[in-house]
Amino acid sequence: MHLVIAKVNENLFDGEAKSVTVPGAAGEMTVLGGHEPLITTLRAGTIVVRQLADVEPLQIPISGGMLEVRHDGAIILL
Amino acid sequence: MAGLKQIKSQIRSYEKTQTVTKAMEAVSAAKMRKAQVTALAGRPYAKAAVSILARVSGMKELSQNFSNGSNTNALYVVITSDKGLAGALNSSVLRATLADINSLGLKRDAVSVIAIGKKANDFFSTRGFRVEAFHNNNDKITADMVEQIVREAMNRFSMGEVGTVKIAFQNFISTLEQKPALYTMLPLSLGELSKVVDGIAPSKGAFSEPSNELEVPNAYTVEPSDEAVLEALLPKLAAIFVYHALLESQASEHSARMVSMKSASDKAGEKEEELTLEYNKARQAAITREVSEIIGGMEAMAN
């Protein structure tokens, strides 16, 4: 799925990802491709992005934010 | 005879001015391109935030949630540049703001201002308006600065001190065209926000993009609740307003300065040519006079 992680003044991640794990309002959750459309607030914690290529998962600490999942991808606003 | 030396020194001073204005033009051109690239980089964020808002506000009346009723006090966030030499850039923003204040019939004590850029600060403080906060308008727009401005504005709004928060800035349309823009930031409306987001890409020029309709998706699951999402989203949306207004105003500043520096360089070049012509004429006249003096002297001796 196409994943974008953005702050208001910069994009932290923009590309294809296998899955992303976020600290959601209702607890930790992992989003894979084809997930139901969803909007949730995020708590402070760490976002873990697993990319398609066989590389170390990307870890991004956050202090809060918002996740929007659509049919074609996901966007995380910090 | 205007002294040859005097003309020569004038020519030299025009040459120097032209060097400076040309350099300033080049610097502004580079900065303008950078500001445009940055503006486009912030676009996905703005679009996503607007689409979340569109989804959440579908069932909630936004104006009811976040309106201060009959409070007519207004807070203006006015963005100008720190430096001048940019044509009518700042004065048109300031004039548009003042016109809005007058058209609403607001008294001076019903208006407060957050000034961004020295020019806005000077303008409003000398006219007796209450300037609540002042920020410099530097080249680098940091997330901290945006957050701080948003906090200042939102605090006053949520405490009920003001009924509306408006933001005024110079909107970048193309390199040769900028127009003052005035948007209502709070209470938040989807219409105003999508105007800002659509306006991020200029309608003309290298960075223009076709504007597409805002898609309003349905069938979302919302966690934990619409209200909680809206509450978390509100500062982010306000930040989009402030951030993009800052970017637009910087792109406008640099392009306005570029254009006015270009006309200054052209004018200096014109003046230089004129003076060179005058210098050559004066030089020619001096030579002719000397020759005729010599000939006159020779003839006098021959007699």
Mean of all residue pLDDT scores within chain A = 86
Cα B87 from Cα B135, distance rounded (Å): 22
A16-53 pLDDT, tens digit each:
888 899 998 888 889 888 888 888 889 899 999 988 87
Interface contact A77-B48, CB threshold 8 A: yes
**Within 10 A of B243 (CB to CB), how many other CB atoms are there?**
26
Whole-number Å distance between alpha carbons of B32 and B255: 6
Q: What is the mean pLDDT of residues A47-60?
A: 86
Alpha-carbon separation of residue B192 from B143, B181, B243 (angstroms): 22, 11, 15
Structure tokens at B131: 């300037």
Q: What is the pLDDT of residue B19?
A: 94
Q: Which CATH class is domain A2-77?
A: mainly beta
| The predicted structure's pLDDT at residue B277 | 94
First to last CA, chain A: 19
For residue B202, CA distances in Å to B129, B172, B197 come to: 33, 7, 11
pTM over 0.80: no
Give residue B69's pLDDT: 63
Question: Virtual CA dihedral for B140, B141, B143, B147, nearest 10 degrees?
Answer: 140
pLDDT of residue A22: 92
- Which of B48, B141, B243 lies at the smallest CB-CB distance from A68? B48
The answer to whether A26 contacts chain B (CB < 8 Å) is yes
Residues of chain B positioned with their CB less than 8 A from the CB of A37: 217, 219-221
Which pairing describes strands A73-77 and A65-70: parallel, antiparallel, or unpaired? Answer: antiparallel
How would you class B55 by CB atoms within 10 Å of its CB: exposed for 0-12, middle for 13-18, buried for 19 or more?
Answer: buried
**Given an 8 Å threshold on Cβ–Cβ distance, is B236 in contact with A66?**
yes
Residue type, B58: G
- Condensed to tens digits (0 to 9), the pLDDT of residues B233-253 reads 888 888 888 888 888 888 888
- Pairing mode of beta strands B111-116, B74-79: parallel
**CA B214 to CA B51: how far, in whole Å?**
7
* Residue ranges of chain B with per-residue pLDDT less than 70: 1-2, 56-70, 199-219
Return the residue matching tokens 């590389």: A55
Domain residue extents for chain A: 2-77
Q: What pLDDT does B264 receive?
A: 92
Q: Where do the domains of chain B lie, and which CATH numbers do they carry?
A: 4-23+262-302 (1.10.287.80), 34-258 (3.40.1380.10)
The residue of chain A with its CA nearest to that of B43 is A8
Flag if A38 and B52 touch (Cβ within 8 Å): no
Nearest residue in B to A78, CA atom: B236
CA B261 to chain centre: 16
Find the helix or strand (DSSP H, E) in which B124 lies: helix B118-126
CA max distance for chain A: 30
8 Å CB contact between B51 and B215? yes
Nearest CA in chain A to B143: A9
Whether residue B221 and residue A8 make contact (CB cut-off 8 A), yes or no, is no
What's residue B11's pLDDT? 93
Q: How far is CA B191 from CA B25, B184, B236, B296, B298, in A?
A: 37, 10, 16, 87, 91
ipTM for the whole complex: 0.75
- pLDDT at residue B67 in the model: 61
Interchain CB distance below 8 Å, B48 and A75:
yes
Cβ within 8 Å of residue A20, ≥6 positions away: A3, A30, A31, A47, A48, A49, A50, A74, A76
Is the pLDDT reported for residue A57 higher than 50? yes
Contact between B39 and A67 under an 8 Å Cβ cutoff? The reply is no
Q: Number of Cβ pairs closer than 8 Å across A and B?
A: 79
Alpha-carbon dihedral angle through residues B45, B157, B69, B244, given to the nearest 10 degrees: -30
